[in-house]
Amino acid sequence: MTTTFDFTHHRILVTGASSGIGREIALQLIKSGAEVFALGRDAQALSQLGCQTLCLDIADSITLDSALQALPPLHGLVNCAGISRLEPATAISAAAFDQVMNVNARAAAQVASRVAAKMIEAKLAGSIVNVSSQASLVALDDHLGYCASKAALDAITRVQCAEWGRYGIRVNSVNPTVTLTPMATMAWSDPAKRDPALAAIPLGRFAETVEVALPVLFLLSSAASMISGVSLPIDGGYTSR
């Protein structure tokens, strides 16, 4: 892909940057000249990015607040940290449900809150992108907690858009389909699981990490200067059905 962006002199925080989509977003931003702050739990993986890093568990709200307080005002944020705990709807456990909600919704809201407060204080018209999922828009078996957490993240996005627009801060979410990280490639290798999912996607394939990263960079960029409050499916048409 030849799409290019220029984020020179832009400070951008990416959570969930240790692997998968978050790592690809961090790499694309670095390639585009941004000063990236990469947050994740894998210190070794973070160190290979070649940028400033924050190694912590994003679900630890006290440690998270301390780390965010130490950052300078930012021009952008990508909330990409996320987890999934699969359970059938008849066997939901409080522990699994709370863990998924704490990471996917609460922590994302907390990060954006602290980042936006500094943007407002510094009078920076920044951009925030929350990485949601097609699971916020459709029902997926055994994903009740995950679907709920991503639907919450889309709602959080809309409220943030409404409250922070007056300060020039744009907030959007992206909603990817299955994205071929190494873990996802393994998880979807069984034809019995993979083929029905592919059949439901009009483009007939899963997404590559770069195909999610570049739309995120677009939403962060000035090319999307009038776009705020949207939930953008990156799903090959899956949610059109």
Between CA 181 and CA 8 the distance in angstroms is: 28
Sequence length of the chain is 241
Kind and range of the H or E run holding 64: helix 61-69
Catalytic site residue 146? yes
Beta strands in the chain (DSSP E): 11-15, 35-40, 52-55, 76-79, 127-131, 170-176, 231-234
Q: Which of 146, 164, 206, 238 is catalytic?
A: 146
- Backbone φ and ψ for 5, nearest 5 degrees, come out as -135, 155
* CA of residue 179 relative to chain centroid, distance: 12
What is the phi-psi region of residue 123: left when phi exceeds 0, alpha when psi lies from -120 to 50, beta otherwise? Answer: left
Between CA 219 and CA 223 the distance in angstroms is: 7
Would you name the residues annotated as active-site residues? 146
